[in-house]
Structure 1
Amino acid sequence: MGSLSIWHWLIVLAVAVLLFGRGKIPELMGDVAKGIKTFKQGMREDDTPREQK
């Protein structure tokens, strides 16, 4: 009862494809990847010491 079988995942995938369409899912994943990349870049910039003026 606690675990999901392959049939549950196939139904979830089918519903996602119906809601978002085939072309929208890769676009959505690209946006997520860009967000993660921007977040990592921001974290790297915060780690660099700032000059005192």
Structure 2
Amino acid sequence: MGSFSIWHWLIVLVVVLLLFGRGKIPELMGDMAKGIKSFKKGMSDEDNDEKAADARTVEHRADEAIQAKEKTSKS
């Protein structure tokens, strides 16, 4: 029960190539790269949405402070 020899790895490589074909593996890698790019874009969009929500919260609080100040100055 030792490690695999070079012959084991060659047999595995041949089986993989027979199952997926020569052109299929690069296609799968391209699809994986597109998926990773899409995931990163989604994560950055989520961060931008959170920043925009935080900015709206700050603006809302500022508006409330201005309204409260106006009410106290009218009284």
TM-score, L = length of structure 1: 0.73
Q: Which residue is 2:12 aligned to?
A: 12
Q: Which residue is 1:50 aligned to?
A: 52
Q: Which amino acid in structure 1 is aligned with residue 30 of structure 2?
A: G
Q: Which has the higher contact order (CA 8 A, sep 6+)?
A: 1
TM-score, L = length of structure 2: 0.55
Q: CA deviation at 1:9?
A: 3.1
Structure 1 runs not aligned, ≥5 long: none
Structure 2 runs not aligned, ≥5 long: 57-75
RMSD, matched Cα: 2.1
* SS of 2:52 mapped into structure 1: coil
